Structure 1
């Protein structure tokens, strides 16, 4: 009986040992989990889905919390650990979050300053930034731009000053109030829309309002697919007022240290995701009304990232 008991115990021991040797990952490896957030507009939702699909292909389990709201909402969610990572724009962090007074137009310099300061002051790590620059722009209908001879923001300033009651400006609430927003823009270019000619609305409605002639000039984003889709034109920022806005994944320092492989994953993504690619992705969602996750997945496959 003792010999039989020893035999059984030995067999069990060998079986457990075999499991430990053959499948240590299944038994002991901690699952890699991340909560992915984003702001609410199209480009941000695409970036969020790109992160989710890419990270899941690299062994992470992701919880989708994309489409949270504006900058302050997404940032607070990160600080409060409601999400682990979201894409923030370097120019937004520089001017709105870190309270710099002067914009920076060099992408690498802006990124390095933001990366260093946000880590030192707030314990947040910035991973490699994307190749595209989604800076703000002011847009007009192409036909109106050509008819009035307005090609740049300086041209617009001259026209507004000469015809203050003939042109309406559409803007979202965030840009109207932020440090690199409307008030500073008008000082930089020396113009001012009358208050009754300023129309505040959600970002997503600005393009349609401009297309339909409800406003004459609208705030936009340089990589937005609706500029092409609605035959709009982005006026040249000839005094280089707007900062660069390259998005990069932002996360708590401890999360970045826990998953050092994220650095390489996002470096490869950043090298591929240029202005042309991002504009096309936005166009597919906003103009062709394709599913955001499908668009993100298809592009990742074409780019050879999954």
Structure 2
């Protein structure tokens, strides 16, 4: 069995502790120096939310800093909670925009049961239906596809001979004691989560072999292999490579495509159409590799989301001239 260097393990544990502090602190954009990239949004005021996991907090901070750089007044409500609180806040007017994912819109908000496996078609269908039914406008999509997956320690994957989710289903029949799973609470209740996955692959996992954990803990426990052999992960998460985890192939194409996009009420979009011009160049740059690097800086290196977002926007030339 392969062993990991102790240095890497200690570094990751320390980073995890730092992440709990930095991400939960919601990262005020006040720490980022003001800059100007244009005045397209001068006089506008936006309340920006985000979900409570690293990537969505980073995306939320990108929106906060970008819109401020284009002249808007921004209230930062990133790290607002899970999918449901953000969507309700958007619909009620508590927030004006947040980043959502096409697969989540299609399955969770629009209540479809079958995903569309073509990325462009999935986004188009989601955006059109959400606009028609709910008057929610989507700006995007990003190239990044932050879909769900199951991962396992690479050495354990070799030991068990698993490469695909069908292999896991077969293992659940032949060696059920090996199929222990760590997941977050939201994954346990979503149609595109564990119940749908189990149904699609025809596998039964007893409740006593499923552990509900915070997102970050899922990764560390999967790496340890004591609480669980398999863990729910996001494919753009930087911890997958850092921990040496193997992502199992979704060979039956159960999981939807999750391209990120900015969602806002149609009335907000109609009032501020310049949002499209401001956001689209940034959206186009956010691919899988970029997001993995940004996520790793927070979850592995322990940096703050506000700094990571500002560094990236500045490096790409999206923040314009420093006003200080």
* TM-score, with length taken from structure 2: 0.83
Q: CA RMSD in A?
A: 1.5
**Whole-Å separation in 1 of the counterparts to 2:316 and 2:248:** 31
- Cα distance, 1:166 vs structure 2: 2.5
Query: 1:149 pairs with 155, 161, 165, which one?
Result: 161
Is 2:105 the partner of 1:100? no
Is 2:76 the partner of 1:67? no
Secondary structure of 2:80's counterpart equals coil
User: Which structure's relative contact order is higher, taking Cα pairs within 8 Å and 6+ residues apart?
Assistant: 2
Partner of 1:26: none
**Whole-Å separation in 2 of the counterparts to 1:64 and 1:229:** 30
Give unmatched runs, 5+ long, in structure 1.
1-28
Is 2:134 the partner of 1:122? yes
Q: In 2, are the aligned partners of 1:164 and 1:194 still within 8 Å (CA)?
A: no
Query: 2:237 pairs with 224, 243, 247, which one?
Result: 224
Q: Could you report, residue by residue, the CA deviation over 1:138-171 in whole angstroms, capped at 9, with x for unpaired residues?
A: 0101111122111111111111211112331111
Give unmatched runs, 5+ long, in structure 2.
1-40, 320-324
Secondary structure of 2:130's counterpart equals helix
- Cα distance, 1:305 vs structure 2: 2.0
Query: 1:303 pairs with 316, 319, 323, which one?
Result: 316
Is 2:199 the partner of 1:187? yes
**Whole-Å separation in 2 of the counterparts to 1:200 and 1:44:** 21
**Whole-Å separation in 2 of the counterparts to 1:234 and 1:304:** 34
Partner of 1:18: none
Q: In 1, are the aligned partners of 2:171 and 2:178 still within 8 Å (CA)?
A: no
Is 2:83 the partner of 1:52? no
Secondary structure of 2:100's counterpart equals strand
Is 2:291 the partner of 1:278? yes
**Whole-Å separation in 1 of the counterparts to 2:179 and 2:264:** 42
Is 2:265 the partner of 1:252? yes
Secondary structure of 1:95's counterpart equals helix
Query: 1:201 pairs with 190, 213, 220, which one?
Result: 213
**Whole-Å separation in 1 of the counterparts to 2:127 and 2:205:** 36
Q: Whose radius of gyration is greater, 1 or 2?
A: 1
Partner of 1:172: 184
- Cα distance, 1:30 vs structure 2: 6.8
Is 2:52 the partner of 1:40? yes
**Whole-Å separation in 2 of the counterparts to 1:153 and 1:305:** 40
- Cα distance, 1:79 vs structure 2: 0.9
* TM-score, with length taken from structure 1: 0.88
Partner of 1:266: 279
Is 2:253 the partner of 1:240? yes
